[in-house]
Structure 1
Amino acid sequence: MNHDESSSSRLPRRTVLKWFAAIAAATQLPNLGSTVEAAAAASPAKGYGMDPDLSKFYQPGDFWPLTLTPVQRETVIALADLILPADHLGPAASAVRVPEFIDEWVSAPYPQQQKDREALLPGLQWLEEEAQKRFSKKFSALSEQQKSAIADDICWPADAKPEFKKAAAFFQKFRSLAASAYYGTEAGWKAIGYIGNVPLVKFDGPPPEVLAKLGVEQTVK
Protein backbone atom coordinates (compact mmCIF):
# COMPACT_ATOMS: atom_id res chain seq x y z
CA MET A 1 0.00 0.00 0.00
CA ASN A 2 2.30 2.71 -1.19
CA HIS A 3 1.55 6.37 -0.87
CA ASP A 4 3.47 9.54 -1.65
CA GLU A 5 7.15 8.63 -1.72
CA SER A 6 8.54 11.77 -3.30
CA SER A 7 12.10 12.62 -2.36
CA SER A 8 10.83 15.66 -0.45
CA SER A 9 8.57 13.58 1.81
CA ARG A 10 10.92 10.68 2.50
CA LEU A 11 13.54 10.73 5.20
CA PRO A 12 17.15 10.67 3.99
CA ARG A 13 18.72 7.21 4.02
CA ARG A 14 21.42 8.38 6.44
CA THR A 15 18.77 9.55 8.91
CA VAL A 16 16.89 6.25 8.72
CA LEU A 17 20.05 4.23 9.34
CA LYS A 18 21.13 6.51 12.18
CA TRP A 19 17.79 6.24 13.97
CA PHE A 20 17.57 2.49 13.41
CA ALA A 21 21.06 2.01 14.84
CA ALA A 22 20.38 4.29 17.81
CA ILE A 23 17.21 2.43 18.76
CA ALA A 24 18.92 -0.93 18.28
CA ALA A 25 21.61 0.19 20.72
CA ALA A 26 19.16 1.68 23.19
CA THR A 27 16.97 -1.41 23.33
CA GLN A 28 19.76 -3.98 22.92
CA LEU A 29 18.38 -5.22 19.64
CA PRO A 30 20.65 -7.25 17.33
CA ASN A 31 22.89 -5.17 15.11
CA LEU A 32 21.10 -4.45 11.84
CA GLY A 33 24.09 -5.56 9.83
CA SER A 34 23.85 -9.06 11.29
CA THR A 35 20.15 -9.41 10.41
CA VAL A 36 20.30 -8.53 6.72
CA GLU A 37 20.73 -12.10 5.47
CA ALA A 38 17.82 -13.35 7.59
CA ALA A 39 15.68 -10.46 6.41
CA ALA A 40 16.48 -11.17 2.78
CA ALA A 41 15.13 -14.68 3.18
CA ALA A 42 11.93 -13.35 4.75
CA SER A 43 11.24 -10.50 2.34
CA PRO A 44 11.80 -9.78 -1.37
CA ALA A 45 12.68 -6.16 -0.54
CA LYS A 46 16.30 -5.20 -1.14
CA GLY A 47 18.32 -4.62 2.02
CA TYR A 48 21.15 -2.23 2.70
CA GLY A 49 23.73 -5.01 2.60
CA MET A 50 26.59 -5.40 5.00
CA ASP A 51 28.26 -2.10 4.07
CA PRO A 52 25.81 0.50 2.66
CA ASP A 53 27.27 3.15 0.42
CA LEU A 54 26.16 6.31 2.24
CA SER A 55 27.76 8.55 -0.37
CA LYS A 56 25.08 7.60 -2.90
CA PHE A 57 21.67 9.19 -3.34
CA TYR A 58 18.92 6.58 -3.38
CA GLN A 59 15.49 6.84 -4.91
CA PRO A 60 12.31 5.97 -3.01
CA GLY A 61 11.69 2.24 -3.28
CA ASP A 62 15.35 1.33 -3.74
CA PHE A 63 15.24 -0.46 -0.41
CA TRP A 64 11.62 -0.77 0.69
CA PRO A 65 8.35 1.02 -0.11
CA LEU A 66 6.56 2.87 2.66
CA THR A 67 3.37 1.15 3.69
CA LEU A 68 1.30 3.42 5.95
CA THR A 69 -1.95 4.51 4.36
CA PRO A 70 -2.97 8.19 4.53
CA VAL A 71 -5.36 7.41 7.40
CA GLN A 72 -2.69 5.45 9.29
CA ARG A 73 -0.24 8.30 8.78
CA GLU A 74 -2.78 10.79 10.21
CA THR A 75 -3.24 8.52 13.22
CA VAL A 76 0.51 8.23 13.75
CA ILE A 77 0.93 12.01 13.57
CA ALA A 78 -1.91 12.59 16.04
CA LEU A 79 -0.65 10.00 18.53
CA ALA A 80 3.01 11.04 18.28
CA ASP A 81 2.08 14.69 18.89
CA LEU A 82 -0.14 13.68 21.80
CA ILE A 83 2.79 11.88 23.42
CA LEU A 84 5.39 14.49 22.47
CA PRO A 85 3.57 17.83 22.01
CA ALA A 86 5.14 21.19 21.32
CA ASP A 87 6.00 22.93 24.59
CA HIS A 88 8.62 25.17 26.18
CA LEU A 89 11.19 22.37 25.85
CA GLY A 90 10.89 21.80 22.13
CA PRO A 91 8.76 21.22 19.01
CA ALA A 92 6.12 18.53 18.55
CA ALA A 93 7.10 15.07 17.35
CA SER A 94 5.73 15.70 13.87
CA ALA A 95 7.91 18.79 13.49
CA VAL A 96 11.06 16.65 13.72
CA ARG A 97 9.62 13.92 11.44
CA VAL A 98 8.97 11.24 14.03
CA PRO A 99 5.90 9.99 12.07
CA GLU A 100 8.08 9.51 8.98
CA PHE A 101 10.45 7.46 11.08
CA ILE A 102 7.58 5.27 12.35
CA ASP A 103 6.56 4.71 8.71
CA GLU A 104 10.11 3.64 7.84
CA TRP A 105 10.24 1.36 10.87
CA VAL A 106 7.06 -0.59 10.11
CA SER A 107 8.02 -0.80 6.43
CA ALA A 108 11.55 -2.17 6.88
CA PRO A 109 12.11 -5.87 6.05
CA TYR A 110 14.32 -6.64 9.06
CA PRO A 111 13.04 -9.20 11.60
CA GLN A 112 12.63 -6.82 14.55
CA GLN A 113 10.81 -4.22 12.47
CA GLN A 114 8.55 -6.86 10.96
CA LYS A 115 7.75 -8.13 14.46
CA ASP A 116 6.88 -4.62 15.64
CA ARG A 117 4.80 -4.07 12.52
CA GLU A 118 2.52 -6.91 13.67
CA ALA A 119 1.77 -4.94 16.83
CA LEU A 120 1.79 -1.38 15.50
CA LEU A 121 -0.52 -1.68 12.51
CA PRO A 122 -3.33 -3.45 14.42
CA GLY A 123 -2.82 -0.93 17.23
CA LEU A 124 -3.39 1.96 14.87
CA GLN A 125 -6.53 0.24 13.61
CA TRP A 126 -7.71 -0.21 17.22
CA LEU A 127 -7.27 3.52 17.85
CA GLU A 128 -9.43 4.34 14.86
CA GLU A 129 -12.14 1.88 15.90
CA GLU A 130 -12.09 3.13 19.49
CA ALA A 131 -12.32 6.75 18.36
CA GLN A 132 -15.35 5.91 16.22
CA LYS A 133 -16.90 3.87 19.05
CA ARG A 134 -16.54 6.62 21.66
CA PHE A 135 -16.78 9.84 19.67
CA SER A 136 -17.92 8.93 16.12
CA LYS A 137 -14.81 10.56 14.65
CA LYS A 138 -11.47 9.40 13.36
CA PHE A 139 -8.67 9.63 15.92
CA SER A 140 -6.86 12.53 14.24
CA ALA A 141 -10.07 14.60 14.31
CA LEU A 142 -10.60 14.25 18.05
CA SER A 143 -9.94 17.04 20.50
CA GLU A 144 -6.86 16.78 22.70
CA GLN A 145 -9.12 15.88 25.63
CA GLN A 146 -10.78 13.09 23.66
CA LYS A 147 -7.44 11.69 22.45
CA SER A 148 -6.16 11.77 26.02
CA ALA A 149 -9.25 9.94 27.25
CA ILE A 150 -8.40 7.01 25.00
CA ALA A 151 -4.66 7.21 25.68
CA ASP A 152 -5.21 7.27 29.44
CA ASP A 153 -6.84 3.83 29.24
CA ILE A 154 -3.82 2.26 27.48
CA CYS A 155 -0.84 4.33 28.60
CA TRP A 156 0.39 1.85 31.21
CA PRO A 157 0.02 -1.93 30.64
CA ALA A 158 0.09 -2.80 34.35
CA ASP A 159 -2.93 -0.58 35.04
CA ALA A 160 -4.89 -1.29 31.85
CA LYS A 161 -8.19 -3.11 32.10
CA PRO A 162 -8.25 -6.62 30.59
CA GLU A 163 -9.99 -5.40 27.44
CA PHE A 164 -7.25 -2.80 26.92
CA LYS A 165 -4.19 -4.99 27.56
CA LYS A 166 -3.37 -5.58 23.89
CA ALA A 167 -3.84 -1.91 23.03
CA ALA A 168 -1.64 -0.98 26.01
CA ALA A 169 1.17 -3.17 24.66
CA PHE A 170 0.85 -1.35 21.33
CA PHE A 171 0.96 2.04 23.05
CA GLN A 172 4.07 1.09 25.01
CA LYS A 173 5.88 0.04 21.82
CA PHE A 174 4.75 3.12 19.91
CA ARG A 175 5.77 5.46 22.73
CA SER A 176 9.19 3.84 22.96
CA LEU A 177 9.85 4.20 19.23
CA ALA A 178 8.52 7.76 19.08
CA ALA A 179 10.58 8.88 22.07
CA SER A 180 13.72 7.16 20.78
CA ALA A 181 13.39 8.92 17.44
CA TYR A 182 12.54 12.29 19.01
CA TYR A 183 15.47 12.30 21.41
CA GLY A 184 17.79 11.29 18.60
CA THR A 185 17.30 14.71 16.99
CA GLU A 186 18.99 18.01 17.83
CA ALA A 187 15.67 19.35 19.10
CA GLY A 188 15.37 16.33 21.36
CA TRP A 189 18.90 16.83 22.66
CA LYS A 190 18.07 20.40 23.60
CA ALA A 191 14.87 19.28 25.33
CA ILE A 192 16.83 17.08 27.76
CA GLY A 193 19.72 19.51 28.10
CA TYR A 194 22.24 17.43 26.17
CA ILE A 195 24.94 19.70 24.79
CA GLY A 196 27.20 17.18 23.10
CA ASN A 197 30.89 17.06 22.47
CA VAL A 198 31.63 20.76 22.86
CA PRO A 199 33.77 22.62 25.42
CA LEU A 200 31.69 24.05 28.25
CA VAL A 201 34.24 26.51 29.64
CA LYS A 202 37.69 27.71 28.75
CA PHE A 203 40.28 25.46 30.40
CA ASP A 204 43.14 27.38 31.97
CA GLY A 205 44.87 24.39 33.44
CA PRO A 206 44.70 22.67 36.84
CA PRO A 207 43.82 24.80 39.87
CA PRO A 208 46.89 26.33 41.64
CA GLU A 209 46.15 24.43 44.86
CA VAL A 210 46.31 21.11 43.00
CA LEU A 211 49.62 22.03 41.38
CA ALA A 212 51.00 23.12 44.74
CA LYS A 213 50.06 19.85 46.35
CA LEU A 214 51.80 17.97 43.55
CA GLY A 215 54.84 20.20 43.77
CA VAL A 216 54.42 21.38 40.21
CA GLU A 217 55.17 24.97 39.30
CA GLN A 218 52.48 26.66 37.27
CA THR A 219 53.62 28.11 33.98
CA VAL A 220 52.07 31.44 33.07
CA LYS A 221 51.63 31.99 29.34
Structure 2
Amino acid sequence: MSEIDRRAVIGWSALVAGVVGAGWGVTHLPSGAPSGRKPTGYGKDPPLVDPKRHVWPRLLDDAIRRNLVALIDIVVPGIDGSPPGSALGLVDFFDEWLGAPYPDMVADRALIMPMLAGIDGLGALAPGARAARVAGLGSGGTAKAFARFCVLAAAAYHTTPQGIAALGYVGNEARQSFDGPPPAVLAHFDTELAKLGFAP
Protein backbone atom coordinates (compact mmCIF):
# COMPACT_ATOMS: atom_id res chain seq x y z
CA MET A 1 0.00 0.00 0.00
CA SER A 2 1.64 3.20 -1.13
CA GLU A 3 1.52 6.31 1.00
CA ILE A 4 0.74 9.74 -0.34
CA ASP A 5 2.72 12.85 0.57
CA ARG A 6 2.22 13.82 4.22
CA ARG A 7 2.01 17.52 3.43
CA ALA A 8 -0.87 16.74 1.09
CA VAL A 9 -2.64 14.55 3.66
CA ILE A 10 -2.26 17.15 6.41
CA GLY A 11 -3.76 19.81 4.16
CA TRP A 12 -6.55 17.41 3.23
CA SER A 13 -7.18 16.68 6.92
CA ALA A 14 -7.52 20.39 7.64
CA LEU A 15 -10.14 20.62 4.88
CA VAL A 16 -12.07 17.66 6.30
CA ALA A 17 -11.90 19.25 9.75
CA GLY A 18 -13.76 22.23 8.34
CA VAL A 19 -16.38 19.95 6.80
CA VAL A 20 -17.08 17.95 9.96
CA GLY A 21 -16.69 20.88 12.35
CA ALA A 22 -13.57 19.60 14.08
CA GLY A 23 -10.75 21.78 15.31
CA TRP A 24 -7.58 21.14 13.33
CA GLY A 25 -4.81 23.00 15.09
CA VAL A 26 -7.26 24.61 17.52
CA THR A 27 -7.55 24.23 21.27
CA HIS A 28 -11.00 25.19 22.53
CA LEU A 29 -11.69 26.96 25.79
CA PRO A 30 -14.48 25.36 27.82
CA SER A 31 -17.85 27.07 27.53
CA GLY A 32 -18.00 30.11 29.80
CA ALA A 33 -14.25 30.16 30.44
CA PRO A 34 -12.82 33.60 31.28
CA SER A 35 -11.28 35.26 28.24
CA GLY A 36 -7.92 35.63 29.97
CA ARG A 37 -7.60 31.95 30.82
CA LYS A 38 -4.99 29.97 28.94
CA PRO A 39 -6.10 26.50 27.82
CA THR A 40 -3.93 23.46 28.29
CA GLY A 41 -2.18 23.03 24.97
CA TYR A 42 -0.39 20.31 23.05
CA GLY A 43 2.81 22.18 22.24
CA LYS A 44 3.78 24.00 19.08
CA ASP A 45 2.45 23.09 15.68
CA PRO A 46 5.04 21.13 13.69
CA PRO A 47 7.06 22.82 10.94
CA LEU A 48 5.79 21.31 7.71
CA VAL A 49 8.77 22.05 5.46
CA ASP A 50 9.92 18.50 6.17
CA PRO A 51 6.90 16.71 7.67
CA LYS A 52 8.63 13.32 7.81
CA ARG A 53 11.04 14.70 10.42
CA HIS A 54 8.80 16.96 12.45
CA VAL A 55 5.19 15.75 12.34
CA TRP A 56 3.66 13.39 14.90
CA PRO A 57 4.25 9.66 14.29
CA ARG A 58 1.67 7.68 12.41
CA LEU A 59 -0.09 5.04 14.48
CA LEU A 60 -1.40 2.40 12.11
CA ASP A 61 0.63 -0.73 11.49
CA ASP A 62 0.47 -2.76 8.28
CA ALA A 63 -2.17 -5.15 9.61
CA ILE A 64 -4.55 -2.34 10.59
CA ARG A 65 -3.93 -0.60 7.27
CA ARG A 66 -4.86 -3.78 5.37
CA ASN A 67 -8.07 -4.09 7.37
CA LEU A 68 -8.77 -0.40 6.81
CA VAL A 69 -8.67 -0.94 3.05
CA ALA A 70 -11.45 -3.50 3.36
CA LEU A 71 -13.48 -1.36 5.78
CA ILE A 72 -13.14 1.84 3.76
CA ASP A 73 -14.12 0.17 0.51
CA ILE A 74 -17.36 -1.07 2.06
CA VAL A 75 -18.20 2.31 3.61
CA VAL A 76 -17.26 4.34 0.50
CA PRO A 77 -17.15 1.95 -2.46
CA GLY A 78 -16.57 3.01 -6.01
CA ILE A 79 -19.93 3.59 -7.69
CA ASP A 80 -20.69 4.38 -11.34
CA GLY A 81 -17.05 4.40 -12.32
CA SER A 82 -15.73 6.40 -9.36
CA PRO A 83 -12.81 4.78 -7.50
CA PRO A 84 -13.24 3.24 -4.03
CA GLY A 85 -12.04 5.15 -1.00
CA SER A 86 -8.86 3.15 -0.50
CA ALA A 87 -7.72 4.10 -4.01
CA LEU A 88 -8.00 7.79 -3.10
CA GLY A 89 -5.72 7.63 -0.07
CA LEU A 90 -8.27 7.33 2.74
CA VAL A 91 -6.03 4.91 4.62
CA ASP A 92 -3.36 7.61 4.76
CA PHE A 93 -6.00 10.15 5.76
CA PHE A 94 -7.06 8.07 8.77
CA ASP A 95 -3.45 7.38 9.69
CA GLU A 96 -2.82 11.13 9.81
CA TRP A 97 -6.13 12.07 11.43
CA LEU A 98 -5.94 9.52 14.23
CA GLY A 99 -2.33 10.39 15.01
CA ALA A 100 -2.77 14.16 15.21
CA PRO A 101 -2.41 15.79 18.66
CA TYR A 102 -5.38 18.15 18.39
CA PRO A 103 -8.28 17.68 20.83
CA ASP A 104 -10.92 16.48 18.36
CA MET A 105 -8.51 14.04 16.77
CA VAL A 106 -7.41 12.72 20.16
CA ALA A 107 -11.09 12.09 20.96
CA ASP A 108 -11.57 10.30 17.63
CA ARG A 109 -8.47 8.21 18.29
CA ALA A 110 -9.82 7.04 21.65
CA LEU A 111 -13.17 6.24 20.03
CA ILE A 112 -12.12 4.62 16.75
CA MET A 113 -8.85 2.81 17.46
CA PRO A 114 -10.46 0.11 19.66
CA MET A 115 -12.93 -0.60 16.84
CA LEU A 116 -10.09 -0.93 14.33
CA ALA A 117 -8.25 -3.27 16.67
CA GLY A 118 -11.37 -5.44 16.78
CA ILE A 119 -11.63 -6.03 13.02
CA ASP A 120 -8.41 -7.99 12.70
CA GLY A 121 -8.59 -10.29 9.70
CA LEU A 122 -11.34 -8.32 7.97
CA GLY A 123 -9.38 -8.03 4.75
CA ALA A 124 -8.91 -11.80 4.57
CA LEU A 125 -12.64 -12.60 4.71
CA ALA A 126 -14.75 -13.45 1.68
CA PRO A 127 -16.82 -10.48 0.44
CA GLY A 128 -20.10 -11.67 1.96
CA ALA A 129 -18.58 -12.39 5.37
CA ARG A 130 -16.68 -9.11 5.24
CA ALA A 131 -19.86 -7.12 4.57
CA ALA A 132 -21.71 -8.91 7.36
CA ARG A 133 -18.94 -8.19 9.83
CA VAL A 134 -18.88 -4.51 8.90
CA ALA A 135 -22.67 -4.33 9.20
CA GLY A 136 -22.31 -5.63 12.74
CA LEU A 137 -20.14 -2.65 13.66
CA GLY A 138 -23.22 -0.45 13.43
CA SER A 139 -24.74 -1.87 16.60
CA GLY A 140 -23.64 -2.65 20.12
CA GLY A 141 -20.48 -1.25 21.62
CA THR A 142 -18.95 -0.18 18.31
CA ALA A 143 -21.98 1.75 17.02
CA LYS A 144 -20.75 5.21 18.03
CA ALA A 145 -17.24 4.58 16.73
CA PHE A 146 -18.54 3.21 13.44
CA ALA A 147 -20.89 6.16 12.97
CA ARG A 148 -18.03 8.59 13.50
CA PHE A 149 -15.80 6.57 11.18
CA CYS A 150 -18.45 6.73 8.45
CA VAL A 151 -18.79 10.51 8.81
CA LEU A 152 -15.03 10.97 8.49
CA ALA A 153 -14.76 8.52 5.59
CA ALA A 154 -17.56 10.22 3.66
CA ALA A 155 -16.14 13.69 4.31
CA ALA A 156 -12.65 12.62 3.28
CA TYR A 157 -13.90 10.88 0.15
CA HIS A 158 -16.07 13.75 -1.02
CA THR A 159 -13.36 16.36 -0.54
CA THR A 160 -11.16 14.67 -3.15
CA PRO A 161 -11.51 15.74 -6.79
CA GLN A 162 -12.88 12.30 -7.67
CA GLY A 163 -15.36 12.37 -4.79
CA ILE A 164 -16.57 15.83 -5.75
CA ALA A 165 -17.06 14.61 -9.32
CA ALA A 166 -18.99 11.58 -8.04
CA LEU A 167 -21.42 13.96 -6.33
CA GLY A 168 -22.02 15.72 -9.62
CA TYR A 169 -21.06 19.05 -8.07
CA VAL A 170 -20.36 21.67 -10.73
CA GLY A 171 -19.46 24.65 -8.53
CA ASN A 172 -16.02 26.20 -8.30
CA GLU A 173 -15.63 25.93 -12.06
CA ALA A 174 -15.09 28.85 -14.39
CA ARG A 175 -17.77 29.20 -17.06
CA GLN A 176 -17.63 31.05 -20.32
CA SER A 177 -21.31 31.99 -20.12
CA PHE A 178 -24.45 31.55 -18.04
CA ASP A 179 -27.71 31.00 -19.88
CA GLY A 180 -29.92 31.25 -16.82
CA PRO A 181 -32.18 28.61 -15.26
CA PRO A 182 -33.89 26.12 -17.57
CA PRO A 183 -37.48 27.01 -18.57
CA ALA A 184 -38.87 24.08 -16.58
CA VAL A 185 -37.28 25.45 -13.40
CA LEU A 186 -38.69 28.92 -14.03
CA ALA A 187 -42.13 27.44 -14.69
CA HIS A 188 -41.98 25.53 -11.41
CA PHE A 189 -41.13 28.71 -9.52
CA ASP A 190 -43.98 30.56 -11.22
CA THR A 191 -46.40 27.84 -10.13
CA GLU A 192 -45.20 27.89 -6.53
CA LEU A 193 -45.21 31.69 -6.36
CA ALA A 194 -48.76 31.75 -7.70
CA LYS A 195 -49.83 29.45 -4.87
CA LEU A 196 -48.45 32.03 -2.44
CA GLY A 197 -50.36 34.82 -4.12
CA PHE A 198 -47.48 36.34 -6.02
CA ALA A 199 -47.90 37.20 -9.66
CA PRO A 200 -45.28 35.65 -11.96
| Conserved 8 A contact 2:7-2:51 | no
Q: Quickly say closer, same or farther: Cα 1:37–1:13, change in 2 above 3 A.
A: farther
How far residue 201 of structure 1 moved from its aligned partner, in angstroms, is 5.5
Q: Distance in 2 between matches of 1:102 and 1:31?
A: 14
Question: In the alignment, residue 58 of structure 2 is paired with which amino acid?
Answer: L
Indicate whether 1:110 and 2:102 are aligned: yes
Aligned length in residues: 170
Q: Distance in 2 between matches of 1:93 and 1:204?
A: 36
Which residue does 2:42 correspond to in 1? 39
| Conserved 8 A contact 1:11-1:101 | no
Which residue does 2:74 correspond to in 1? 82
Between the two structures, name the one with larger relative contact order (CA 8 Å, sep ≥ 6).
2
How far residue 81 of structure 1 moved from its aligned partner, in angstroms, is 0.8
Question: In the alignment, residue 23 of structure 1 is paired with which amino acid?
Answer: V
Question: In the alignment, residue 107 of structure 1 is paired with which amino acid?
Answer: G
Which residue does 1:213 correspond to in 2? none
How far residue 178 of structure 1 moved from its aligned partner, in angstroms, is 1.1
Over 4 Å off, 4+ runs: 33-37
Q: Distance in 2 between matches of 1:203 and 1:81?
A: 38
| Conserved 8 A contact 2:4-2:89 | no
How far residue 59 of structure 1 moved from its aligned partner, in angstroms, is 4.2
How far residue 26 of structure 1 moved from its aligned partner, in angstroms, is 2.0
Indicate whether 1:173 and 2:148 are aligned: yes
- TM-score, scaled to structure 1: 0.68
5+ residue gaps, structure 2, are 29-38, 181-200
SS in 1 for 2:45: coil
| Conserved 8 A contact 1:64-1:108 | yes
How far residue 203 of structure 1 moved from its aligned partner, in angstroms, is 4.1
- Listed as ranges, the matches of 1:135-214 within 5 Å are 138-155=121-138, 160=139, 164=140, 166-200=141-175, 202-203=177-178
Q: Distance in 2 between matches of 1:61 and 1:10?
A: 16
How far residue 107 of structure 1 moved from its aligned partner, in angstroms, is 0.9
Q: Distance in 1 between matches of 2:152 and 2:74?
A: 14
Q: Quickly say closer, same or farther: Cα 1:31–1:87, change in 2 above 3 A.
A: closer
| Conserved 8 A contact 1:84-1:92 | yes
How far residue 191 of structure 1 moved from its aligned partner, in angstroms, is 0.4
How far residue 28 of structure 1 moved from its aligned partner, in angstroms, is 2.2
**What is the percent sequence identity of the aligned residues?**
30
Question: In the alignment, residue 154 of structure 1 is paired with which amino acid?
Answer: L
